[in-house]
Each structure stands twice: as structure tokens, then as C-alpha cells.
């Protein structure tokens, strides 16, 4: 149960979004370099090993008990679960109920081995790369930004020491306490503690520059899979926890990224709209909006569309 709880917490926490740019690096790195991170990884190793051992015992128990209850005929094989064909009789009775319980326990052992084993591989991938899933996403967007603008620069992830062994030693130490004090950590040569934060600020600025202004031409209720917006829109609804926003005809939207049949953006509440104040953002169907021909940003495209050109 503790292993399954750890897995559930990991899967739940892995999809959470970090909202504050300046503290993203600290929050993410703190989550990775907690004092218990090494213990959680060690538990994700020992738990599958213990379950494999238990599964072996269950299999051998069922095999032994069934073997002692088998009787072979010319064309039939019978199993008598009432008693074993053995003298002396087994000390522990093994009837049909015990067989069903052992089979159920075997299923639990195998399931835990697979689930917690997957957790172990995910944890080791994070540790060896010194990079969480959120940080991998930031790095991918950094490379995408550089390629989009054809910039003469290279983004170097600051917390990857360039060696898996060095990254491994940052988490697993003789004292059991990972390197770092919760605010600062060793960084790669040529980088500093705010390299990742600066890159995120560049991405946010680039996101605002490439936003496209749209006008709502059709009402949208905010349903996750709308039936009245087309069959393709229904089946291509984004599989994400991000919300959908309700649209009314005549409103304006700043789209920042999109898919073929869906867009993601911020609703412009009034002419004095300031980013960060009463923001309403989410996904909405593409066929509910149209580009504003008079907007100066119409030459730009949402971030998700450039790869389809």
C-alpha cells in the first residue's frame, strides 16, 4: 500500500502546473532534491523485489498443492481440492478458498511489481538526467524557440552536470541528504542559478509576441467534447486537464497555441485588459472564431501551428 500511494502521488503531482516564473526553478528542483527522494527511489526498488519473491512463493505453493491433488486417467485429468494424495497430510489445509485467495494475492503481487517498477524507471530517468518532466518541457520549448527564430544561440540546461554519474551522486550521497540547500544547487559550467528562469521569461515574452487576436463568431458552451461543433472537433478534443472557456459571439481572444481543430488562449475582457488580472484562459473550438483582419498581429501564428506549415 505505501508503494501504491507513492505511485498515485507521483502521477498526480507530475501533471500539476507551476504558475510563477521566478520561482519555478526553485520549486521544481526542491521537489526533486528533497531529503526523501533517495528513499522513495530505494523503496521503488525493494518493493518490486519483495513482490517478486512473494509471487514465487505463491506460484510454488499452488503448484505443489495442485500436484498433490491431481489424478490422471486415460482421457481425463481430475483435481480433488478436498484432500491431498499424500501421507502424512499437509499441516496447513489448502482448500478451494485458500487457492482462490492465493491466486488473488499473486495478481496483487504482479500488479504492484509492474506499477512500482515503472515508478522506479521514471525516477531513475529523472535522477540520471537531473531533469524533471516540467524542466524537460521547458528545454523542448527553448530549442523550439531558437529554431523558430533561427537564433545563433544554444540553450544549455543548467542542472545537468554533463555526466549521468555526477547527476546520480547529487541525489544518492553517503549522508543520505542530496546536494543543495533547497535554494541553490550545483550548476553546469557557464550557467548560473537563474539560467532556467531567464529562459522561461524569454518564452513568456515570445508567447505574447506570437499571440493572434481572434473574434468569436459562434457561441460555445465550454463543453469538453461538444457535439454541435463537428464530428472532427468532438473526436480531437485535447486530452489535458486544462479547462475549456465559454465563448459568446462578439468577444475577443488572444490565441497562443493551437491544434488543428482547437485553439488555446486568453479571453480579452475589456480594452484595459492587463495580463495576470482576472485572466480567463483555456481551450475552445477553432471553428467558433475567426482572425481579426484589422489586428496588427494577424501575420503571426499560434505556437502549435508553425510545424504544420
Mean pLDDT by 10 residues, the chain (309 residues): 36 36 43 62 89 93 77 61 57 77 94 93 89 88 88 89 89 78 82 90 86 92 90 91 91 89 87 59 93 60 44
CA–CA dist 284, 244 (Å, integer): 6
pLDDT value at position 132? 84
Residue 236 belongs to some domain of the structure = yes
Domain boundary among 66, 100, 129: 129
Mutual orientation of helices 24-32 and 133-149 as an angle, nearest 10°?
A: 140
All cell numbers assigned to 57: 512463493
Beta bridge partners of 253: 214, 267
Residue 219 belongs to some domain of the structure = yes
**Cell numbers 481543430: residue:** 261
Q: Quick one: 143 and 71 in the same domain?
A: no
Helix (H) or strand (E) holding 307: none
Continuous H helices in 68-182? 96-129, 133-149, 164-171
Q: How far is CA 303 from CA 151, 242, 265, 299, 308, in A?
A: 17, 17, 11, 13, 10
Domain boundary among 206, 231, 255: 206
Residue 272 belongs to some domain of the structure = yes
**Cell numbers 510545424: residue:** 307
3-class SS of residue 249: coil
Strands 252-258 and 262-268 come out as antiparallel
Helix (H) or strand (E) holding 46: helix 37-67
Cβ-based neighbour number of residue 231 at 10 Å: 8
| Cα three-residue angle 194-195-196, rounded to 5 degrees | 90
Residue 195 belongs to some domain of the structure = yes
- The boundaries of the domain holding residue 67 are 31-76+91-129
Residue 155 belongs to some domain of the structure = yes
pLDDT value at position 304? 47
**Please, which residues have CB within 8 angstroms of residue 149's CB and are 6 or more apart in sequence?**
none
CA–CA dist 81, 78 (Å, integer): 10
**Cell numbers 509576441: residue:** 209
pLDDT value at position 275? 52
3-class SS of residue 285: strand
3-class SS of residue 209: helix
pLDDT value at position 23? 43
pLDDT value at position 292? 85
| Contact call for residues 124 and 41 (beta carbons, < 8 A) | yes
For residue 153, is it left (φ>0), alpha (ψ between -120 and 50) or beta? beta
Q: Quick one: 233 and 286 in the same domain?
A: yes
Q: Quick one: 140 and 226 in the same domain?
A: no
Residue 10 belongs to some domain of the structure = no
pLDDT value at position 85? 55
3-class SS of residue 308: helix
CA atoms within 13 A on the CB side of 1: 0
Total of domains in the chain: 3
pLDDT value at position 76? 63
Domain boundary among 206, 235, 258: 206
pLDDT value at position 306? 45
pLDDT value at position 285? 94
CA–CA dist 10, 132 (Å, integer): 12
All cell numbers assigned to 129: 538526467
Residue 8 belongs to some domain of the structure = no
Residue 22 belongs to some domain of the structure = no
Cβ-based neighbour number of residue 190 at 10 Å: 8
Amino acid at each position: 500500500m505505501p508503494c501504491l500511494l507513492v505511485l498515485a502521488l507521483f502521477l498526480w503531482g507530475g501533471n500539476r502546473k507551476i504558475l510563477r516564473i521566478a520561482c519555478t526553478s526553485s520549486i521544481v528542483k526542491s521537489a526533486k532534491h528533497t531529503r526523501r527522494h533517495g528513499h522513495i527511489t530505494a523503496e521503488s526498488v525493494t518493493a518490486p523485489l519483495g513482490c517478486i519473491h512473494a509471487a514465487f512463493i505463491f506460484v510454488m505453493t499452488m503448484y505443489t498443492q495442485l500436484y498433490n491433488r491431481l489424478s490422471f486417467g486415460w482421457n481425463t485429468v481430475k483435481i480433488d481440492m478436498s484432500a491431498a494424495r499424500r501421507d502424512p497430510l499437509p499441516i496447513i489445509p489448502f482448500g478451494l478458498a485458500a487457492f482462490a485467495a492465493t491466486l488473488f494475492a499473486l495478481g496483487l503481487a504482479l500488479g504492484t511489481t509492474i506499477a512500482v517498477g515503472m515508478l522506479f524507471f521514471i525516477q531513475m530517468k529523472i535522477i540520471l538526467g537531473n531533469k524533471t518532466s516540467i524542466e524537460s518541457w521547458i528545454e523542448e520549448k527553448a530549442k523550439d524557440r531558437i529554431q523558430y527564430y533561427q537564433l545563433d544561440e544554444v540553450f544549455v540546461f543548467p542542472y545537468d552536470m554533463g555526466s549521468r554519474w555526477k547527476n546520480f551522486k547529487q541525489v544518492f550521497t553517503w549522508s543520505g541528504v542530496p546536494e543543495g540547500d533547497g535554494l541553490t544547487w550545483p550548476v553546469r559550467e557557464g550557467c548560473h542559478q537563474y539560467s532556467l528562469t531567464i529562459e522561461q521569461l524569454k518564452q513568456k515574452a515570445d508567447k505574447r509576441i506570437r499571440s493572434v487576436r481572434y473574434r468569436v463568431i459562434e457561441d460555445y458552451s465550454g463543453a469538453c467534447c461538444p457535439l454541435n461543433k463537428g464530428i472532427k472537433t468532438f473526436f480531437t478534443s485535447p486530452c489535458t486537464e486544462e479547462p475549456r472557456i465559454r465563448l459568446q459571439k462578439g468577444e475577443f481572444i488572444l490565441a497562443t497555441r493551437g491544434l488543428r481543430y482547437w485553439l488555446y488562449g486568453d479571453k480579452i475582457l475589456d480594452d484595459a485588459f492587463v495580463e495576470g488580472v482576472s485572466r480567463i484562459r483555456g481551450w475552445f473550438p477553432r471553428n467558433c472564431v475567426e482572425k481579426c483582419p484589422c489586428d496588427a498581429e494577424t501575420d503571426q501564428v499560434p505556437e502549435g501551428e508553425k510545424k504544420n506549415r
